[in-house]
């Protein structure tokens, strides 16, 4: 039986990537930077994890743009704009997410987050969608700004496991991307893969389970731990 569930955030808990793209583009426009990322641009840029890293990659590819120091400042402005968008309630949780979180809490199964995004983004999404403080729901939250190497490195999942004080074999991770899948598996976790709008079509063949979203039947280990709740089985 599973001892804890560890969730990615962007694309896994909610389809947040359009909100991120919008926040980036509005920040570029407000700061007079002649960049405008299309959906196709952003799909490709998502192969690089981390917002600052994406901006640096784009700058290097197009041959002009802000310095590394300016990118760090831009990212702070972008994060503030993203938090505003999320706080407005425009982005709901993906199907089945709230039900699984609620059932796990009722069953006493610890929950955790392991994400490349930074902590303010996590807090904004959880407050807007679940109307509770994140620390009251999740036993451990590991964010991208707390580790040296972001996904596909396993660091953020290892940090979450350390904070849970549980072995990887006792936990199951939830991801939506190839980078996240590699990260979770690198930490020794089994993975439920739910492709998102920006990751569909990826190679998820190594995932332990692939389902469209969390409203579909879950792995038996999870259902057993939840008492096979009809709401999510």
User: Where in the sequence numbering do the catalytic residues fall?
Assistant: 8, 10
Gap between the Cα atoms of 87 and 83, Å rounded: 6
Tokens 């939840």 appear where? 226
174 φ/ψ angles, rounded to the nearest 5 degrees: -120, 125
Gap between the Cα atoms of 124 and 107, Å rounded: 26
Torsion sign across C-alpha atoms 44, 55, 176, 91: negative
Upstream peptide bond of 37 is cis (omega within 30 degrees of 0) = no
Bridge-partner residues for 114, per DSSP?
142
């Amino acid at each position: 039986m599973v001892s804890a569930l560890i969730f990615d955030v962007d694309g896994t808990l909610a389809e947040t990537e359009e909100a991120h793209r919008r926040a980036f583009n509005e920040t570029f426009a407000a700061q007079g930077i002649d960049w405008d990322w299309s959906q196709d641009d952003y799909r490709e840029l998502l192969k690089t994890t981390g917002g600052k890293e994406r901006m640096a990659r784009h700058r290097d590819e197009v041959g002009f743009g802000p310095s590394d120091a300016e990118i760090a400042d831009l990212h702070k402005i972008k994060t503030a704009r993203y938090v505003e968008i999320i706080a407005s309630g425009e982005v709901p949780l993906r199907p089945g997410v709230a039900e699984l979180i609620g059932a796990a809490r009722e069953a006493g199964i610890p929950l955790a987050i392991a994400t490349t995004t930074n902590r303010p983004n996590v807090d904004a999404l959880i407050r807007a969608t679940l109307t509770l403080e994140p620390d009251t729901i999740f036993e451990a939250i590991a964010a991208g700004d707390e580790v040296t190497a972001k996904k596909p490195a396993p660091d953020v999942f290892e940090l979450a496991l350390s904070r849970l004080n549980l072995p990887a074999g006792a936990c199951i991770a939830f991801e939506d991307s190839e980078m996240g899948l590699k990260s979770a598996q690198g930490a020794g976790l089994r993975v439920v893969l739910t492709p998102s709008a920006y990751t569909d079509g990826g190679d998820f063949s190594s995932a332990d389970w692939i389902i469209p979203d969390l409203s579909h039947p879950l792995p038996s280990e999870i259902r057993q731990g939840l008492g096979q709740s009809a709401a999510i089985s």
